[in-house]
Amino acid sequence: YTTFPGNTKWKTNKLTYRIVNYTPDLPQSEVDRAIENALQVWARVTPLRFTRLYSGTADIMISFGRGDHGDGYPFDGPDGTLAHAFAPSVGIGGDAHFDEDETFTSRSSSGYNLFLVAAHEFGHALGLSHSTDPGALMYPVYSYTDPERFSLPLDDIRGIQSLYGPNPDVTPEKPDPEKPTPPTTPNACDPNLVIDGITTLRGEMMVFKNRFFWRVYPQSNQPELTLIKSFWPDIPDNIDAAYESIKADRVFIFKGEKVWALSGYDVVSGYPKTLSSMGLPATVKRITAALYDEVSGKTLFFDNKYYYSYDETKRQMDKGYPKLVEKSFVGMQGGVTAALQYRGFTYLFSGSNMHEFSSRSKKLHRVLRSNYFLGC
Amino acid sequence: APLLPPLSSTQDQKVVETYLMKFYDLKNETDSDPHRGVHQMTLKLKEMQQFFGLEVTGVMDSNTLEVMKKPRCGVPDLAE
């Protein structure tokens, strides 16, 4: 997280706000609710308390405007810049302006969710600048999260509490039961990293963990951490498995009994489908890993210590499955939690270990750490 | 790979300049001293790539351009 120079902050914890005008995109009651909830995001973790004014000048003046709206920082039409806010100070300080050329929504992943945009802007109004953590609310790029399940990430909590301290009404021993532990951002260099899924994608590689995935480019040793929902709002977090079908030129992503398909970075319509659409028996309720084996032309679906073999050409399961993984991949230990075939090797992940097998002989070569491809 | 059609690369050039001026305080001084302007642009591009965890090259690439085209907050990324 970062704060403004001199750790600019309000001198008082009791602040006022006023909604000066409304966007026609939403009923006024929805705007009121989104603004109130966005302020509560910060009140919940600090001593800050907000009172609404309906006239006169408040510390945080909230307004909607388009193009040149009088503060010397004109908006730019639809998309691009969504909103901005000013650091704590008198006058325009603390004010938040929303670009009326955007479509603000309150309950869907389409358009821009007003609660999320407002919560971010109020972070500025209270003294936070942008964060480099892609999972933080104060990250500059917008990405959709279900507002009903929003939980302020730890990076933002640390930032705002560095200015105002914790919420005196919440005793740390008895944290708020409704609020889960704050979400954190995975560290590529954590030697104990356990990944959810891994796949190639037209020469790149994607490594999935919680709400994120790393994009690994062959020509670069700098993997890029990104929120899954910043690319695909409808793909779930915490996936079970992913693999690339070279034959279908698709990436398939699995969670529970559902499967989604990507063509490049576009979601394929008509998904999610069920696991049985991939040939898996109805008894299989989830898989833990998947890979496409170029040697045999088969797709292997793993369910912990067992695996199935699927023939994409015949579009049916091969006979005699499921089999024990360690029977075919001698030396494999533990349930398979992710799988990949890459440059002639088959990688089977189990917890923080990655087992490297020769794709042709299925001979175990090495046991490496799960973050091997993340350039640490 | 096919070269970007002139329009889109000029358009993209504009996207890059506007973005760096808005969020990384690139000064609009390229007219006076082109060499200094190019140097400034490279520095600011590196700052932006560093901030977003991209490959820090100071050279425009598709991943950097992709990030620049994403919807975002209008507050600069440089706290000061």
Q: What is the DSSP letter of A229?
A: H
Within 8 A by CB and 6+ apart from A294, the residues are A246, A341, A359
Q: What integer is the mean pLDDT of A219-235?
A: 87
Residue A133 pLDDT > 70, yes or no? yes
The B-side interface with A (CB below 8 A) comprises 22-23, 51-56, 63, 67, 70-75, 77, 79-80
Residue A125 pLDDT > 90, yes or no? yes
Phi-psi region of A203 (alpha: psi -120 to 50; beta: other; left: phi over 0): left
Angle at alpha carbon of residue B4, lines to B3 and B8, rounded to 5°: 165
* pLDDT the model gives residue B3: 37
Task: Find the CB nearest B54 among A80, A117, A224.
Answer: A224
Tell whether the torsion through CA atoms of A257, A263, A266 and A271 is positive or negative: negative
The one catalytic residue in A30, A100, A121, A244 is: A121
- Note whether B80 contacts A5, CB cutoff 8 Å: yes
Residue A193 pLDDT > 90, yes or no? yes
- For an interface test with A, the pick among B19, B22, B59, B73 (most A C-beta atoms closer than 10 Å) comes out as B73
Torsion of CA A179, A180, A183, A187, to 10 degrees: 160
The least confident of A64-73, A87-96, A146-155, B29-38 is B29-38
Q: What integer is the mean pLDDT of A340-367?
A: 95
Task: Find the CB nearest A129 among B54, B56, B79.
Answer: B79
* pLDDT 10s digits, A172-183: 656 566 666 788
* Interatomic CA distance for residues A332 and A212, integer angstroms: 27
The pairs formed by A170-173 with CB atoms below 8 angstroms and a separation of 24 or more are A170/A44, A170/A45
* Interatomic CA distance for residues A94 and A219, integer angstroms: 44
* pLDDT 10s digits, B46-79: 999 999 999 899 998 888 999 999 999 999 998 7
* Interatomic CA distance for residues A197 and B9, integer angstroms: 36
The 3 state secondary structure assigned to A142-191 is CCCCCHHHCCCCHHHHHHHHHHHCCCCCCCCCCCCCCCCCCCCCCCCCCC
Average pLDDT, chain A: 93
Query: Please, which residues bridge with residue A266 across strands?
Result: A263
* pLDDT the model gives residue B12: 85
- Note whether B72 contacts A142, CB cutoff 8 Å: yes
- Note whether A140 contacts B23, CB cutoff 8 Å: yes
Residue B1 pLDDT > 50, yes or no? no
A154 near A182, Cβ under 8 Å?
A: yes
Spell out which residues of chain B touch residue A134, defining contact as CB-CB under 8 Å.
Answer: 53
* Interatomic CA distance for residues A4 and B79, integer angstroms: 5
Spell out which residues of chain A touch residue B71, defining contact as CB-CB under 8 Å.
Answer: 79-82, 112, 141-142
Pairing status of strand A49-52 against strand A14-19: parallel
pLDDT band at A219 (very low <50, low <70, confident <90, very high): confident
Residue A358 pLDDT > 70, yes or no? yes
* Interatomic CA distance for residues A315 and A318, integer angstroms: 9
Instruction: Clarify whether A121 is annotated catalytic.
Output: yes
Query: What ipTM was assigned to the predicted interfaces of this complex?
Result: 0.87
Q: Cα distance from A138 to chain B (closest Cα, Å)?
A: 9
Query: In this structure, what are the phi and psi dihedrals at residue A336, rounded to the nearest 5 degrees?
Result: -80, 120
* pLDDT the model gives residue A251: 96
Which A positions 206-225 lie with beta carbon below 8 A of chain B? 215, 217, 220, 222, 224-225
Token pair in block for residue A270: 């008509």
Highest mean pLDDT of the ranges A176-190, A223-237, A350-364, B25-39? A350-364
Rg (Cα) of chain B, in Å, rounded? 13
- Note whether B52 contacts A82, CB cutoff 8 Å: no
* Interatomic CA distance for residues A331 and A326, integer angstroms: 6
